[in-house]
Structure 1
Amino acid sequence: MPVDSTYSTYSPGMLRIGGLASGLDVDSIIQDLMRIEQMKVDRLKQERQLVEWRKEAYREITNLLRAFQDEFFNMLKTDTYMLSSNTYKTFNVTSSAEAYVTATANASAMEGSYAITKIQRLATPTIIKGTTWAFPDGKTLDSTLEQLGLVAADGRAEFSINGVTFLIGTPSEGEELSGDTVVIDPTKTSMRQLMNIINTNSKAGVNLFYSSIEKRFILQTKATGAATISLYQNMTDVTGTFLRDIGLLADGAEKEKIDGTDAVVTFQKVGGTGTIDWVSATNTFTIDGVTYTLKNTTPDGMAPITITVTQDVDRAYNAIKNFVDKYNELIDKINGKLNEERFRDYPPLTDAQKKEMSEKEIELWEQKAKSGLLRGDSILQNIVYNMRRALVDAVEGVGINLSSIGITTGSYFERGKLHIDENKLKEALRNNPEQVMQLFIKKSSIDYSPNLDSDSRIQRYNESGLMYRISDVLMDNIRTTRDKYGRKGILLEKAGIVGDITEFQNMMDAELRRLDKRIDAAVEAMIRQENRYWAQFTALEKAIQRMNMQSMWLMQQMGMNQY
């Protein structure tokens, strides 16, 4: 394996021929002289390569932490979200008649059975069915409002539904429109598009559609319950007669108004000492942590429906075990980087060295060269230390710790790996779910912020459950938001991450830019040195040429060149 640098001229395109007078191999001599200069450039390039590799290694750790954070601290991933009470206190809920009602339970529920003696009524929306309305010849829902003849002579119509104004036409010059006004161009908007505009307006809260079977427009509230009958008063033509023209405000006998209704469910009182009616504006409602979803009314004489709530210890155990397994993987990978062997006899290869090696040899060499770049790194050491400490320190106001529920750290050489006693953890979840939940997700009175002062950080740490502490460690290191000094997470400030502004604005890229300038300066110095050597050898060639010419002249004068 070659260890010396091979010099290649940095002055391409220049034809230089040396040694014509002296007979010296000037090109080889200068290449030998320039090797020391080439070595200076190579050392800078090797230093730059190490910084680049170190940046990649930091980003690898950042990606590991981001993946861990996304799996366990993303509230959208309900199955693995470790800051939810539903992760630690879980229940199975069964219904004896799922065709009529189903149920689920959250962490505030209690084990037990609940009886529904009758589902008297379901919650329904308010519905307005317009009078019969036929499309003009050749026109459909895809025809524009103008083509359907639904625009007044002045080209304008305005109607309101639940406080939202829909203006069909062009606003008058200087006319001030409320923030809830929707302007619609009748020459470009079809009836189908208008219905979509109305239906997607969340504040209007209605669905408008045309029934080809009944041949009329139907308006229905998205919400259910008796309160939705206010639609009757909250729907009007402001200017023009658009709603009246499509039959929704007509006074004909064909028009129907169907009042929205509340759901009415009869529960048997605990202990079976009578019944009580529960009224709800929706068919899904929550009572004491149990969420009921009504499907149908029950017929007279039907036996009571039993809702049974039982604790689901296995689900909580599996969620905690999954977290512990992934935590151990994360800690193992970071500890692996911290303790990876450094092979200092394997520096980054120079271009000349790569030319003499096969691709496989280069790959094996660079594996050694990249090894141990983060060995003993202080940032990674702090991450591991803070995560291990977060899981060991007592949580203020909680009388248990991980060890007391069957989660312990292994031997010293395992460097923080956690082990679970399945029976002990399940027993804790079964007999003391509230305390287990508090241990993991007790919330501090102080919210997380990178700008907290020292006392506030200590208070938040002491008050926070284990998962909040782990979340804080992750935020401190991979946070993409800035603190009051303009700094993001520690790892992002150090090496950045793809897709964020820190991808190019970080400490290691700044170091790379400094090295690029040093390399450019070294190359320029190398070119100057090369030119200097060529100038010196050219002067030597000229001197020898003059000497040879003088020697030949003397020989001619002395007749020494005659035979």
Structure 2
Amino acid sequence: MRISGLATGMDIDQMVKDLMTAERVPLDKLSQQKQVVEWQKESYRELNTMMSEMRTAASSMRLQSGYNAYKAVSSNADTVKATSTSSSVPGSYKVTVNQLAESAKYVSAAAIQNEAGTNAKATDKVLHAADNDTTFELTNAKGQTATVTITAADTFKSLAEKIAGAKDDATGETLGMRANFDNTTSRFFISTKAMGGDESLTLSSFSDNTVAQRLLGGATNATATGTYGSVSFDGIVVENLKTNATTINNLKIDLVQKGTSIISIQSDTQAPFDMVKSFVEKYNEFVDKTKGLLTEKRNRDFPPLTDAQREDLTEKEIELWEEKARSGLLQSDSTVRGITSSLRNAWMSPVEGIPAGELSMLSQIGINTGSYQDGGKLFIDEAKLKSALEEKPDEVINLFTSGSNGIGDRLYDSVNQGIDQLGKKAGTPGSLIDSSFLSTRLKNLDEQMRTWEGKLETVENRYWKQFGALETAMDRMNQQSLWVQQNLLGGM
């Protein structure tokens, strides 16, 4: 039990706090060290994230497919749409849509009337009051048959749902139908999901012919058959298509409607240009970031704030202080400096093994480093790069993808090495296991802080015990003094 300074007249609580403030100095220094390490770890991990984004951008730069980009242009996109692939052959092709692939489709022959004699709505009942439950059979091209039952509760909408979900009576397999009752036309629209001339649907065997004629427009059964698609590619006829999308000569073709279109396959320099430019932009962002970290001033007069110091400051004051305290924590950092140097060499070193007279350096395609003050940022002469992609595409591809020596592979490997170095230093964002140098350092600091907290608790208890003893002694002295006054001096 802790006692106040009633006997001594001292503010013991404040005195213990003051004494403990001095005792806490080593613990506060450890806490400040921990905060510095945590800030350093955050900075390293931010760089690691930026490099991971660079790795994604660099991945396609080392593959020839990233540069073999083509675009397909259709002279009549209302008839044919085309999409090129990396294997498309440049040139012009005449494409004629002879026939679209179609599913088997049945549409009610006439608007269906409800019991009131007006055009039916989806929410109207199918059967009239005098009708009994009615069954009919729905059959697909495979010969699978489902028996559909119309009850007094069925509306035209629920009957459409039964048709769409129909399953073979014997196997339970779905018949693969679509069905809808349209309010605007008061008709059923029924079709197979698949397309092609081998698709069909049949509505038959109605148990009540009156209901059949009402639904089918006077008939007692109905049948529909699908259609195969057909297209001519430079005079070569491709038939029996079961979809309106096909690939011919590495060109993806979508059939829209009957007609003819000229498809032109042209080299697309924009795609590889954008790919290279995207990496350069991410690289320059990384250079800007590392340049700031490596050169910013270290403010040693602004150590991390202790908890006690925070209590005496406003949020804005804390923010301004921490801005200065975080500055320069990676000043001249050897790991970061080494990574930036490695990336710069991967960019700018000539590619070995390329025949004389061919492109072997980035400067030859309009990519150069700026001045020393720019920190190694890259600058693109866009006109020169596009010209190289248009006029010497094979040499550009060789420059970036020439074995393990190509610039694409060198960059990818350099980025991977940087990510690995940063991971060893501060861990990898998102990783469940972290045995990095700084994480180990933080664990050690935590252990030291726990030890100090135990020591401080012991010291604080000792202070309270000492002041308690002082209070007890003073209380006894006061009582003795009072007794003397009362018994020896009281009679005088």
Within 5 Å, which residues of 2 pair with 1:1-12? none
Query: Which of residues 417, 426, 431 in structure 2 aligns to 1:494?
Result: 426
Partner of 2:40: 54
Partner of 1:296: 257
Partner of 1:333: 289
Partner of 2:216: none
CA 1:24 to 1:295, structure 2 compared with 1: closer, same or farther past 3 Å? Answer: closer
Tell which deviates more after alignment, 102-111 or 330-339: 102-111
Partner of 1:317: 273
| Secondary structure in 1 matching 2:100 | coil
Partner of 1:20: 7
CA 1:158 to 1:387, structure 2 compared with 1: closer, same or farther past 3 Å? Answer: farther
Per-residue Cα deviation, 1:44-102 (whole angstroms, up to 9, x for no partner): 322332233233333433443455566x479xxxxxx7577675344555444444344
| Secondary structure in 1 matching 2:27 | helix
Partner of 2:304: 348
- Which amino acid is the alignment partner of residue 330 of structure 2? L
CA distance in 1 between counterparts of 2:161 and 2:434 reads 46
Within 5 Å, which residues of 2 pair with 1:31-180? 31-68=17-54, 72=57, 88-91=67-70, 93-115=72-94, 119=96, 121-129=98-106
Question: How far does residue 246 in structure 1 lie from its aligned partner after superposition?
Answer: 9.9
| Secondary structure in 2 matching 1:296 | coil
Within 5 Å, which residues of 2 pair with 1:280-295? 281=241, 282-295=243-256
Partner of 2:394: 434
Partner of 1:534: 464
| Secondary structure in 2 matching 1:535 | helix
Identity %: 31
Contact residue 352 and residue 360 of structure 2 kept, 8 A: no
Tell which deviates more after alignment, 157-166 or 391-400: 157-166
Partner of 1:362: 318
Contact residue 49 and residue 348 of structure 1 kept, 8 A: yes
Query: Which of residues 251, 260, 276 in structure 1 aligns to 2:227?
Result: 260
Partner of 2:327: 371
CA distance in 1 between counterparts of 2:62 and 2:182 reads 47
Question: How far does residue 414 in structure 1 lie from its aligned partner after superposition?
Answer: 3.9
Unpaired segments of 5 or more residues in structure 1? 1-13, 75-80, 170-185, 268-275, 299-303, 443-461, 479-487
Question: How far does residue 313 in structure 1 lie from its aligned partner after superposition?
Answer: 3.7
| Secondary structure in 2 matching 1:20 | coil
CA distance in 2 between counterparts of 1:354 and 1:107 reads 60
CA distance in 1 between counterparts of 2:394 and 2:125 reads 61
CA 1:121 to 1:140, structure 2 compared with 1: closer, same or farther past 3 Å? Answer: same
Per-residue Cα deviation, 1:430-466 (whole angstroms, up to 9, x for no partner): 1221332344456xxxxxxxxxxxxxxxxxxx53754
Question: Which one scores higher on RCO, CA 8 angstroms, separation ≥ 6?
Answer: 2
CA 1:158 to 1:370, structure 2 compared with 1: closer, same or farther past 3 Å? Answer: farther
CA distance in 1 between counterparts of 2:248 and 2:353 reads 29
Partner of 2:197: 229
Query: Which of residues 406, 409, 418 in structure 1 aligns to 2:369?
Result: 409
Partner of 2:455: 525
Per-residue Cα deviation, 1:501-551 (whole angstroms, up to 9, x for no partner): 63x967566765654554344334323212212222333444455567778
| Secondary structure in 1 matching 2:238 | strand
CA distance in 1 between counterparts of 2:445 and 2:375 reads 36
Contact residue 366 and residue 380 of structure 2 kept, 8 A: yes
Question: How far does residue 140 in structure 1 lie from its aligned partner after superposition?
Answer: 8.3
Unpaired segments of 5 or more residues in structure 2? 127-131, 168-173, 214-218
- Which amino acid is the alignment partner of residue 429 of structure 1? L
CA 1:434 to 1:505, structure 2 compared with 1: closer, same or farther past 3 Å? Answer: same
Within 5 Å, which residues of 2 pair with 1:454-473? 463=404, 466-467=407-408, 470-471=411-412
CA 1:278 to 1:518, structure 2 compared with 1: closer, same or farther past 3 Å? Answer: same
TM-score (norm. length: structure 1): 0.62
Contact residue 495 and residue 509 of structure 1 kept, 8 A: yes
CA distance in 1 between counterparts of 2:374 and 2:40 reads 25
Structure having the larger proportion of residues in helix: 2
| Secondary structure in 2 matching 1:229 | coil
CA 1:19 to 1:330, structure 2 compared with 1: closer, same or farther past 3 Å? Answer: same
Question: How far does residue 425 in structure 1 lie from its aligned partner after superposition?
Answer: 1.9
Structure 2 residue 378 is the aligned partner of structure 1 residue 425: no
Question: How far does residue 366 in structure 1 lie from its aligned partner after superposition?
Answer: 0.5
CA 1:164 to 1:342, structure 2 compared with 1: closer, same or farther past 3 Å? Answer: farther
Partner of 1:391: 347
Question: How far does residue 328 in structure 1 lie from its aligned partner after superposition?
Answer: 1.0
Query: Which of residues 232, 236, 251 in structure 2 aligns to 1:277?
Result: 236
| Secondary structure in 1 matching 2:296 | coil
TM-score (norm. length: structure 2): 0.69
Question: How far does residue 348 in structure 1 lie from its aligned partner after superposition?
Answer: 0.6
